Structure 1
Amino acid sequence: MTTLSISSRQIEALTESDVADLATRLEQDSYTNPFDGLNDWHLLRAIAFQRPELIEPYMHLLDLEAYDEA
């Protein structure tokens, strides 16, 4: 099994088009291997933390919700 490894520099080099392609793959969910979908999801999540402006239209794919611990 291979491990997904992406550096901060690689995330910095991503364009809006790259992220749109990633989101399209996630929305279509037609992966031949379930781990490929999971890797794409983790990549989108990494982008969300480092370049949140790129994933604003695709936040629904991450299913992140703010919560109150109070």
Structure 2
Amino acid sequence: MHASATLSPAHLPAIEPVSIPVRELLPWAVFGSILLLLAIYFVGVEEGAAAIFNTMYVHEFVHDGRHLLGFPCH
């Protein structure tokens, strides 16, 4: 490659940010919020009287995550 054929930073096209309309972003924000709330429920609440599942499988599966996030469980 010749030295004259290389591109210098002055010859590169400018990169401009693309705006995302709120109506396109909102469904993803709602979906992400629902997933976050489900994760917080299963890690932080799924045990005892408020449990959806009567077994301890969910509790044992997320047990270390509970302690890592600061939720007490025993």
Do these two structures clear the TM 0.5 threshold for a shared fold by scoring above it? no
Q: TM-score, with normalisation over the residues of structure 2? A: 0.29
**Higher helix proportion:** 1
Higher relative contact order (CA 8 A, sep 6+): 1
